[in-house]
Chain A
């Protein structure tokens, strides 16, 4: 592949060096160069085509993106970092489910773990850090907005939400879902059945957003809104980290091919099943737990800023923690 690209390039280079011999004008040479570099473009197009089209995912992502852009033009836009974070977060969740990426995620264990890292950690975290809710809400026309708000404050929804968003069930759910879908027999069925596969990815994505919203929502913990205290947020992030390290290490270090589904289904390239499983374990272990560390750094920096603001200046008690973490 690389070889053929090089050859083409050389050919184009010769044509450029001898315009009279080849009888090409500069403009047409340029067009010719572009034409010769077209194959990668068609490859990108092939990559962007979903392996299994799920209209619900595509529609939800498109509707959210449209609402967001509509909201941006109505009122004070957030910082560029927040906009970029939202686009990358939402885009990455779409990318791992509705492009060729999904093909690799279905047939390679480690790519499946990357998919869940994005759906459960990276994507939701970026979306939450961008704090898109006010922008999405103001994009809604008045009637649906009121309806959504009254639905949101209705008893069943708010009770359900508050009981899920307690630190204990939230942490349990966050880790529990990772463990549940990695039980070998459950995992086997999920990879065979399109319905269960979708259910798995939806639960990971929705729970990811709920969890990261609980620990990284920008509202200060004091006041009537009842958002979780900074210390508890840090503790929760630390507590969910260890079980993830444990299961990641277990998968990476155990040599038994417990996840036989990838043997049963064939592979997109002939990778050894041991290598695949080790990589899968490492991805569950290291980047996933690093997300907890990043989350903690962000919470700590917010905590410090919050205390400084309360103490009325930079010399307040909060100064003992150095400023680290993003300002997104």
Chain B
């Protein structure tokens, strides 16, 4: 009797152990608030987080004139998405939020994200909207002095925030996270049920 109880307890422990398997990238569940924003979409119309309910959502801040971090990150996410089965892939949205609304109008954003795939969605907003959203996820951005051609660099977050289909924050993906880790977590995000 006692042995049977022990075996059951062990089995239960193994099962729960499997279920709470660790995320491969940085687990920030509960540390930050759920996905919520009000921005402007690629059609120039208002968009909120409701448009992406039910999708695993990745949130990234950048600007289209970005020479390094943005294209690298988006290309890597695009590579990862290619490895997903079609069924799962359709349930992912990558939100590219431009913190440079001065140069990145909706049309410009649409062309930019199109290159990476249909899952990529460009968003931007007023300075107030962008400040509110970046502050919500404890990041910031700033502009360098423009050069003689009027070009300027933008300092922005290099992280990708991952949300479950119910909009809850789950992971933070960094530059140095490998594609395998990102792939594993993305699949887990897609299959997570609130």
User: What is the interface of chain A, defined by CB distance below 8 A to chain B?
Assistant: 103, 106-107, 189, 191-195, 260, 263-270
- The 8 Å CB contact of A267, one of B28, B155, B175, is B155
Contact indicator B155/A270 (Cβ below 8 Å): yes
For the complex of A and B, the 8 pairs showing the least CB-CB separation, nearest first, are A270-B144, A266-B157, A193-B31, A264-B159, A265-B139, A270-B155, A267-B155, A266-B140
- The 8 Å CB contact of B140, one of A189, A194, A260, A268, is A268
Closest to A194 in B: B138
* Minimum Cβ distance to chain B for residue A42 (Å): 17
Using known A-B contacts A270-B153, A270-B155, determine if residue A264 contacts B141 with beta carbons closer than 8 Å.
no
Closest to B174 in A: A264
Decide if B93 is an interface residue (CB 8 Å cutoff).
Answer: no
Q: Which residues of A contact B134 (CB under 8 A)?
A: 266
Contact indicator B140/A264 (Cβ below 8 Å): no
Mask, B106-147, CB within 8 Å of A = 1, is 000000000000000000000000000010001111111000
- The 8 Å CB contact of B142, one of A191, A193, A194, A268, is A268
Q: Which residues of B contact A263 (CB under 8 A)?
A: 158, 175
A-B CB contact pairs (8 Å), 8 listed:
A106-B140, A193-B28, A193-B31, A195-B31, A264-B159, A265-B140, A266-B140, A267-B155
Mask, B60-98, CB within 8 Å of A = 1, is 010000000000000000000000000000000000000
- How far is A106 from B139 in the complex, measured between Cα atoms in Å? 9
- How far is A137 from B174 in the complex, measured between Cα atoms in Å? 51
- Looking at chain A's contact residues, is the secondary structure mostly helix, strand, loop, or mixed? helix
* Minimum Cβ distance to chain B for residue A192 (Å): 6
- The 8 Å CB contact of A266, one of B28, B155, B172, is B155
Contact indicator A107/B140 (Cβ below 8 Å): yes
For this complex, into which size category does the number of interface residues on chain B fall? 20 to 34
* Minimum Cβ distance to chain B for residue A266 (Å): 4
Decide if B170 is an interface residue (CB 8 Å cutoff).
Answer: no
- The 8 Å CB contact of B155, one of A193, A194, A269, is A269
* Minimum Cβ distance to chain A for residue B181 (Å): 16
* Minimum Cβ distance to chain B for residue A316 (Å): 58
- How far is A226 from B157 in the complex, measured between Cα atoms in Å? 52
A260-B174, A264-B157 are known contacts; what are 8 more A-B pairs with Cβ within 8 Å? A103-B140, A192-B28, A193-B32, A195-B31, A265-B140, A265-B159, A266-B134, A268-B140
Using known A-B contacts A192-B172, A260-B174, determine if residue A266 contacts B31 with beta carbons closer than 8 Å.
no
- How far is A267 from B28 in the complex, measured between Cα atoms in Å? 21
Q: Which residues of A contact B157 (CB under 8 A)?
A: 264-266
- How far is A249 from B183 in the complex, measured between Cα atoms in Å? 39
- How far is A14 from B3 in the complex, measured between Cα atoms in Å? 97
- How far is A318 from B101 in the complex, measured between Cα atoms in Å? 69
Contact indicator A267/B140 (Cβ below 8 Å): yes
Closest to A103 in B: B140
Mask, B149-186, CB within 8 Å of A = 1, is 00001011111000000000000101100000000000
- How far is A86 from B115 in the complex, measured between Cα atoms in Å? 60
Q: Most B CB atoms within 10 A — which of A193, A195, A266, A270?
A: A266
- How far is A124 from B175 in the complex, measured between Cα atoms in Å? 39
Contact indicator A192/B32 (Cβ below 8 Å): yes
Q: Which residues of A contact B155 (CB under 8 A)?
A: 266-270
- How far is A195 from B138 in the complex, measured between Cα atoms in Å? 12
Closest to A271 in B: B155
- How far is A103 from B153 in the complex, measured between Cα atoms in Å? 21
- The 8 Å CB contact of A192, one of B31, B144, B153, is B31
Q: Which residues of A contact B142 (CB under 8 A)?
A: 266-270
* Minimum Cβ distance to chain A for residue B83 (Å): 24
* Minimum Cβ distance to chain A for residue B123 (Å): 17
Closest to B141 in A: A266
Contact indicator B139/A264 (Cβ below 8 Å): yes
* Minimum Cβ distance to chain B for residue A99 (Å): 15
Q: Which residues of B contact A260 (CB under 8 A)?
A: 174
Q: Which residues of A contact B141 (CB under 8 A)?
A: 266
- How far is A248 from B134 in the complex, measured between Cα atoms in Å? 30
Q: Which residues of A contact B138 (CB under 8 A)?
A: 106, 191-192, 194, 265
Closest to B159 in A: A264
Closest to B153 in A: A270
- How far is A4 from B37 in the complex, measured between Cα atoms in Å? 35
* Minimum Cβ distance to chain B for residue A276 (Å): 11
- How far is A191 from B138 in the complex, measured between Cα atoms in Å? 8
* Minimum Cβ distance to chain B for residue A14 (Å): 30
Q: Which residues of B contact A265 (CB under 8 A)?
A: 138-140, 157, 159
Q: Which residues of B contact A195 (CB under 8 A)?
A: 31
- How far is A189 from B28 in the complex, measured between Cα atoms in Å? 9
- How far is A264 from B161 in the complex, measured between Cα atoms in Å? 11
Q: Most B CB atoms within 10 A — which of A106, A192, A193, A265?
A: A265
* Minimum Cβ distance to chain B for residue A183 (Å): 15
